[in-house]
């Protein structure tokens, strides 16, 4: 397999609504920033992969074709990836495979999402819920909060994790977002502020929720040989692991202590590929999928930053903070930064690339040399992709 | 093609917001969906208030929800009637619902594993004593009366089995 480099990264600002921009325009702005970053022209792009999650969000069943043509890439190959919250991660993986296999040398990955063209939040959640198993579970109109809530409850009951711990994640991530000029929701909050926000489904409150964002992100991948033609020092994708689970939220095989088996498997696969044997020592920065605050606590364990059941103490000890041993979500993550669903996994990679280059500004983790980006989607993290990047 | 009715947003004029054009639109798609090889589940539920699962003849896994083949053994499963009893695996109180279930909030929803079943299923829990609900609690299925059953999974729910 060819080595695969990220040679460019760009994104729009993320907002609850870009009323002034269509989804092709958002994609164009991210791509233009990405190509400028790489010192590339759109003619250099040989193939493109689009991470666009939900047809209802874009009001179009083949949104990628309209973006691809307007990017001036007609007659070049294109494919759309749609895997729920893992859309962006799987889009990066599809592009990685094209370069690694030698099919193309320069491949563009674009993640883009509108959401606020849906008439209201009810229509948005309804559009997401259409992902449920249509034969059985769909009849219960489950929500993402319900699907993840069960895992969080299990963690609370078995490990003593509290709602205050969940609130600490929110305080951290909304606080980190203050260092990210593209973030949607920078806030200075206290644990009490989070605890006082209205409950959606126990134990999840409104402020424990990820954001709902519009925006776009793009990264340019290249083979080692092609990367030398462009101006930027390559950041290497040294590991990429993907995995899956049942798309039904109540249905999981017992695979040890993992609450998110697809995440664990994607991490193990990516770590093995990158030669990471001690993640707590090796991973200097992580942009991972804090769909809900309690999920991030579970993910510290899935990624091996601490042992099973130690997620809450890992957080309380400040190890996930900026300045901690393994800073998690310096961008603000999905809770403080953005969650333009199809863009998220691409944006996470762009953020880790900036960290590897030392270009992350006020959110820079000093001395960062190995980072991970991880996104997941479907019922309770049924699909997951973990990307290991090294500067 | 039926004509759009008066409430159809697709015939409403454009609106303006902050100087941008906002076009009202709607996707409305109706289905008549075949449940295919799974049909017996829905028919037995509606007609006879029975919960039908399936069993793998090779490894013995008992599936509820039913599946027509075993994903481990790659052989067809046999239909079996489930005992309408099981236990709660996890549950929560739903405060906000965006579907027709919003008329029932707050309500309890959770996972229930029927006796012998390999996996839990999502389920509605009904109780007169919410404080007593706990994981591991035995529950039994109750069914809507025949005239109210529509052949959909929410024709049944679970109550504490005391």
Contacts of A103 (CB under 8 A, 6+ apart): A47, A97
A385 burial type by CB count under 10 A (0-12 exposed, 13-18 middle, 19+ buried) = buried
Mutation to test the B interface, candidates A22, A116, A122, A135, most B Cβ within 10 Å: A135
In whole angstroms, what separates CA A10 from the centre of its chain?
A: 15
Chain B residues within 8 A of A201 when measuring between CB atoms: 92-96
Length of chain A measured in residues: 391
Task: Identify the pLDDT of residue B6.
Answer: 61
> What number of other Cβ atoms are within 10 A of residue A276's Cβ?
21
State the Rg of chain B over Cα. Answer: 21
Angle between helices A293-302 and A163-176 (to 10 degrees): 90
Contact A373, A78 (CB under 8 A): no
Quick one: tokens of A305? 């930053």
The residue among A250, A255, A275 whose CA lies nearest residue A265 is A255
Task: Identify the pLDDT of residue B1.
Answer: 46
Whole-number Å distance between alpha carbons of A197 and B131: 23
- In chain B, the percentage of residues whose pLDDT exceeds 70 is 96
Query: Residue B16 belongs to what H/E stretch?
Result: strand B15-17
Q: Is the dihedral of CA B54, B60, B61, B62 positive or negative?
A: positive
Chain B residues within 8 A of A19 when measuring between CB atoms: 17-18, 20
Question: A140, B96: Cβ pair inside 8 Å?
Answer: no
Q: Is B18 on the interface with A (CB under 8 A)?
A: yes
pTM of the model: 0.95
Left, alpha or beta for A268 (phi > 0: left; psi -120 to 50: alpha)?
A: alpha
Whole-number Å distance between alpha carbons of A341 and A214: 8
Which parts of chain B sit beneath pLDDT 50? Answer: 1
Chain B residues within 8 A of A146 when measuring between CB atoms: 92, 94, 109
Whole-number Å distance between alpha carbons of A144 and A341: 13
Which parts of chain A sit beneath pLDDT 50? Answer: none
Chain A residues within 8 A of B8 when measuring between CB atoms: none
Contacts of B131 (CB under 8 A, 6+ apart): none
Whole-number Å distance between alpha carbons of A329 and A185: 13
Quick one: tokens of A9? 């990264």
Quick one: tokens of A132? 């449920």
Contacts A–B by Cβ distance under 8 A: 83
Q: Is A247 on the interface with B (CB under 8 A)?
A: no
CA distance B107 to chain A (A): 10
Length of chain B measured in residues: 162
Q: Is A205 on the interface with B (CB under 8 A)?
A: no
Task: Identify the pLDDT of residue B97.
Answer: 79
């Amino acid at each position: 397999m060819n080595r695969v480099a990220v040679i460019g990264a760009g994104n729009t600002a993320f907002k609850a609504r870009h009323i002034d921009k269509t989804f092709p325009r958002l994609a164009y702005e991210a791509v233009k920033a990405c190509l400028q970053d790489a010192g590339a022209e759109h003619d250099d792009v040989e193939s493109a992969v689009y991470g666009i999650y939900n047809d209802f969000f874009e009001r179009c069943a083949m949104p990628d074709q309209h973006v691809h043509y307007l990017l001036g890439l007609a007659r070049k190959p294109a494919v759309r990836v749609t895997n729920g919250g893992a859309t962006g991660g799987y889009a990066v993986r599809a592009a990685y495979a094209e370069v690694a296999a030698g099919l193309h040398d320069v491949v563009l990955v674009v993640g883009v999402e509108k959401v606020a063209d849906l008439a209201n939040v009810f229509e948005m959640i309804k559009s997401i819920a259409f992902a449920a198993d249509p034969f059985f579970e769909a009849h219960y109109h489950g929500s993402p909060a319900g699907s993840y809530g069960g895992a969080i409850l299990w963690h609370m009951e078995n490990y003593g994790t509290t709602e205050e711990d969940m609130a600490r994640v929110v305080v951290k991530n909304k606080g980190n977002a203050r260092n990210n000029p593209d973030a949607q929701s920078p806030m200075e909050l206290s644990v009490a502020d989070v605890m006082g926000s209205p409950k959606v489904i126990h134990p999840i409150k409104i402020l424990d929720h990820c954001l709902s964002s519009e925006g776009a992100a793009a990264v340019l991948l290249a083979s080692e040989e092609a990367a030398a033609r462009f101006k930027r020092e390559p950041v290497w994708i040294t590991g990429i692991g993907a995995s899956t689970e049942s798309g039904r939220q109540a249905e999981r095989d017992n695979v040890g202590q993992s609450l998110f088996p697809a995440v664990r498997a994607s991490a193990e696969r990516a770590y093995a590929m990158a030669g990471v044997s001690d993640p707590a020592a090796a991973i200097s920065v992580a942009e991972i999928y804090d769909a809900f605050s309690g999920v991030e606590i579970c993910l510290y364990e899935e990624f091996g930053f601490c042992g099973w059941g130690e997620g809450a103490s890992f957080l309380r000890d400040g190890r996930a903070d900026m300045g901690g041993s393994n800073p998690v979500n310096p961008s603000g993550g999905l809770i403080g930064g953005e969650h333009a669903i199809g863009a998220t996994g691409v944006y996470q990679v762009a953020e880790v690339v900036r960290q590897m280059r030392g270009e992350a500004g006020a959110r820079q983790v000093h001395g960062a040399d190995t980072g991970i980006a991880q996104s997941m989607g479907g019922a309770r993290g049924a699909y997951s992709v973990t990307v290991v990047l090294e500067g | 093609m039926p004509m759009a009715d008066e409430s159809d947003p697709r015939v409403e004029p454009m609106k303006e917001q902050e100087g941008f054009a906002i076009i009202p639109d709607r996707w409305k798609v109706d289905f008549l969906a075949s449940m295919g090889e799974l049909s017996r589940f829905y028919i037995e539920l509606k007609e006879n208030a029975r919960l039908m699962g399936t069993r793998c003849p090779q490894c013995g896994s008992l599936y509820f929800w039913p599946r027509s083949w075993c994903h481990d053994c790659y052989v067809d499963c046999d239909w079996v009637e489930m005992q309408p009893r099981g236990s709660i695996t996890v549950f929560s109180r739903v405060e906000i619902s965006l579907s027709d279930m919003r008329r029932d909030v707050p309500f309890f929803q959770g996972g229930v594993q029927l006796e012998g079943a390999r996996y839990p299923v999502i389920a509605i829990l009904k109780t007169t004593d919410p404080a007593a609900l706990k994981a591991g609690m035995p529950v039994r299925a109750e069914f809507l009366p025949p005239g109210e059953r529509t052949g959909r999974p929410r024709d049944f729910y679970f109550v504490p089995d005391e």
